[in-house]
Chains A and B, each alone.
Chain A
Amino acid sequence: MLSYISRRLAVSFIILLTVSFAVYVIFAFLPYDPAALTCGKTCNDPGIIEANRHRLGYDLPFFTQYFLFLKGLLFGRSFGEGAAMITCPAPSLGYSFQEHACVTNVISEALPVTVSLALGALVMWLALGVGLGILAARFRGRIVDQLSTIFVLIGTSLPTFLTGLMLLVFVVIKWHIMPFPAGNYTPFLENPFEWAQILLLPWITLAFAYAALYTRFVRSAVIDTSNEDYIRTARAKGLSEGVILGKHTLRAALAPIATMAGLDFAGLLGGAILTESVFNLPGIGRLAINSVVNIDLPIIVATTLLAALFVVIMNLLVDILYAFIDPRVRVV
């Protein structure tokens, strides 16, 4: 098991390095001049552009730039001179002229928001999706199952942007069921109640969409598993339906759900763009989309890498988790 994990870790590291290089290559060949983007929207003075190009190292050969980027990650990096010198300590991902801050700081401020959003939504949609999926499978064809079908239909067809907007406009603005949150985001450690209050509707919005998918998936997984021979064996042993479902069916049916949840969770950590936008949460998703709109290259590189990092990490975790759930994987 240990050698399995260390082997996977090594592979993950190589994947990340490759992704970082690929991202760098892509942006090097984009038809945008990163230097021209550092001196404001109206920058048309070649002198300023060249000065900034030199200051930020965009005049260096491509491989040197990439090497400096990697070096910055390990040892930090400074740009410019005098009072205007910018120093970004390790791990440095560069400096954003849109955010007027080191990219690492920008990311580390946005990350807790996205993690809070994704984690809460994950818990909610797993509880709802798995619960409803099991009920629908257990009472197949009955009223619970039919209601769940309606839920799945609505949840999968409504875009999260619309769900979120409707929740906000009706629940908060028109009906005053909940107050409009006093802030865009409050850290959990600062005020857990406000944290939850601000995130409740975003959680519901995300959970609604994912829960619908998971309900459908869990329902069919449970039904498929109940038709397995080993479930018939369990019944022949004289086990009660509850034990069969809880111990035998779910363990097998939910194993693939763990993989799915892990990857969906990784996707959300990379940024829940629409939900963050509707609920003005200052998370990674909005950072990413704005960086694309503003062509803020250092942030684009950082958010892309971050998204890749999460996918790689979650893949690794899911595989390790899966190896614990399914003993057949361990020998591979």
Chain B
Amino acid sequence: MARVKKSTSIAIVAVLALAVIAGGLVKMSSGGSSKGGTITYLTHSEAWTHADPNRNYTGQHLAWFSSYLQRTLTSYAHAPGSDGSAVVADLATDTGRASNENKTWEFTLRDGVKYEDGSAITCEDVKYGVSRTFATDVITDGPTYAISMLDIPSADDGSSVYKGPYAAADNDTAAYDKAVSCSADNKTITFNLSRSVGDFNYTVTYLAFSPVPKAKDDGDAYDMHPVSSGPYKIEKYKSKDEMVLVRNDNWDPKSDSVRSAFPDRIVVRFGLAEEVRDQLILNDSDKNSMSLDSVLPTNLPTVFDDAGNPRAEFADRALNVYDPYVTYEAVNVKSLPCLDVRKAVYYARDYAGLIQLSGGAAFGGDPADGAIKPLMGLDYAKVTGLDEFIAAGNADAAQKYMTAAKSSCPDVYARATDPKRGLTFDTADTDTNKKAAAIWIDSMKKNANITMKFNYIEAGSYYSVVMDPTKQGDFSRAGWAPDWANASTVIPELFTETGGFDLSQNGADPAYQAFKEKSDAALSEPDRVKQGKMWAELNQYAMDQMWIIPRVFSKTQEIWGSGLGGVFFWEPQGAPSFGDIFIK
């Protein structure tokens, strides 16, 4: 998990956030592109994690479903590079109108927008879709922004007083109707938020804010047959088999300034053996196909040279790019209240050995210096004070901090150097993690005389264990990607107690209160440039305190057949630009 949703972006967001971009400008120029044909996507997965729009949360799935099947009020622009992070109007006529200090947001639906059955998409449908995300017992796995942002009171146990459209008892529907309302013509939707959210129009790019016709909703089972509002509709969807999309005749290209809809038919083949999936693309067996998964490490050298660039024959059908993820070891500050030992661990670590496990720097990525990736642009600043970092591990620095720890925190020092006790490290029980553990144990012993003990947790229940403060060890392996191009979806999530992924337990840190106040201030800072600076400073502080041991700014590799054109990396979703792919 680690809210494994993707998105990234660059500087000009502040400008774009306010700009209303006319639809026609955003569509990719379709030079050399052509309509028609069948694009086939290949994947080892047995099915989509979720096809129900309100339950979609990973960047690749959001990119795919928003390109073909689901429209939202606003969308990211379909454009390569930083242009892709611009928010543009989709179902709505503009990118939203904020008032009341960004606490009230209004969106008006375009005329002529329809579902696949020809019925009109109304404000009530959007409102119903959003209401479903409150039913977290049925509509699982989706983002819960509506719950945390909408102005709806909490019950005594902290949960929302509104429980979604399915619950009958103890359900404050009136509170929801007050927070989300529709105009008399059923075209304009108004969201009342509990706090200022300057980039709420980014939030609504999530399919969690897409329309769902109430009459077609059947709860969990809706995941297998969501109703389309996009250019295609589902002809067949069977887990372990395939999904087939055909054109949706009720989609009016004139009402959609975002989507190109080049192919006539789109097929997703599920459950391919990983080697078969890769070989089909590598041998160009079906020129019009694309892999949805990362390339097997053993096949990477076939496609890329040692530097990580595509080889000549794969020049225009492979990508090796940074994905939105930062991986790190979360430090349990409560159990490890000793900055010197935390630093010793950071410097003693054999980073070079660990990155080799992910295919080396060419495919694995670069050493991370914090929780914010350079792709975040405005919010990133190089973290200082880490000059002693040496990829293979710096024994001198590590020992220096351990010597300091002897007097600054003798208890933690004694535990760390005691072979019987040592420090504990949580990791999911996988082969790769076990190899990494060996490198960790070895380099800690050698460079800092620290004993590291590993706690292997069954992969499926890993996060539910480490997120339980009573079960968490000193270090927990983790990773995170921002929900959209703003560190507001990183710093508060990872480092404040109200965040969804606060593994550091840094409330125990004496400086936490000041940190929290500054984070809250950054959240409601309307000046995006100022806000970016604040995030960078908070990131620097988190690193000064070693609340996390940052690992990698990771990369991802994509391959596709020679028949496909228009592929680029859609940065905000951290995935290929599915909606712009055509058959040459």
Contact = CB atoms under 8 A, between A and B. Distances in A.
Q: Let me know if chains A and B touch directly in the complex, using CB atoms closer than 8 Å.
A: yes
Interface of A: 36, 38-45, 47-48, 51-52, 55, 80-86, 95, 97, 99-101, 106, 109-110, 165, 168-169, 172-174, 176, 180, 183-185, 277-278, 280, 282, 286-287, 290, 294-295
A101 B136 contact: no
21 contacts: A42-B464, A44-B464, A47-B137, A47-B157, A48-B140, A51-B137, A81-B167, A83-B166, A84-B219, A97-B220, A99-B224, A101-B221, A109-B238, A165-B276, A169-B275, A169-B276, A169-B279, A174-B279, A180-B285, A278-B276, A287-B240
A97 B242 CA distance: 19
A233 to B, nearest CB: 54
B51 to A, nearest CB: 9
B464 to A, nearest CB: 5
Contacts of B221: 86, 100-101
Contacts of B46: 286, 290
A176 B141 CA distance: 42
Nearest to A48: B137
| For the complex of A and B, 5 pairs with smallest distance between CB atoms | A84-B219, A40-B140, A282-B240, A40-B141, A84-B166
Contacts of A99: 47, 224, 239
Nearest to A33: B461
Given A47-B157, A51-B137, A83-B218, A280 B166 contact: no
Contacts, number: 130
Nearest to B272: A280
B71 interface: no
B431 to A, nearest CB: 15
A264 B223 CA distance: 37
Nearest to A184: B241
A95 B219 CA distance: 13
Given A41-B460, A277-B273, A180 B240 contact: no
Interface string B157-199: 1010000011110000000000000000000000000000000
A174 B284 CA distance: 9
Given A83-B165, A286-B240, A290-B46, A39 B137 contact: yes
B196 to A, nearest CB: 27
Interface of B: 1, 46-47, 135-138, 140-141, 157, 159, 165-168, 214, 217-224, 238-242, 269-273, 275-276, 279-280, 283, 285-286, 460, 463-464, 467-468
Given A42-B464, A184-B241, A280-B269, 12 more contacts: A38-B140, A42-B1, A48-B140, A82-B165, A99-B224, A100-B223, A165-B275, A168-B273, A173-B285, A184-B240, A184-B270, A280-B272
A189 to B, nearest CB: 16
Nearest to B52: A100
A39 B159 contact: no
A277 B276 CA distance: 11
Nearest to A180: B285
Given A51-B137, A55-B137, A110-B240, A86 B220 contact: yes
A84 B276 contact: no
A109 B286 CA distance: 27
B159 A286 contact: no
Nearest to B220: A100
A83 B219 contact: yes
A283 B35 CA distance: 35
Contacts of B279: 168-169, 173-174
Contact of B468 (A38, A44, A48, A278): A44
Contacts of A184: 240-242, 269-271
B136 to A, nearest CB: 5
Nearest to A181: B269
Contact of A84 (B218, B238, B286): B218
B242 A183 contact: yes
Contact of B283 (A174, A282, A286): A174
B25 to A, nearest CB: 38
Contacts of A277: 271, 273
Contacts of B241: 183-185, 282
A100 to B, nearest CB: 4
B137 A280 contact: no
Contacts of A38: 140
B38 to A, nearest CB: 9
B167 A82 contact: yes
A169 B241 CA distance: 20
B170 to A, nearest CB: 12
A172 B214 CA distance: 46
A139 to B, nearest CB: 39
A41 B273 contact: no
Contact of A86 (B159, B219, B271, B285): B219
A39 B1 CA distance: 14
B220 A84 contact: yes
Nearest to B136: A48
Contacts of B280: 173, 180
A233 B563 CA distance: 71
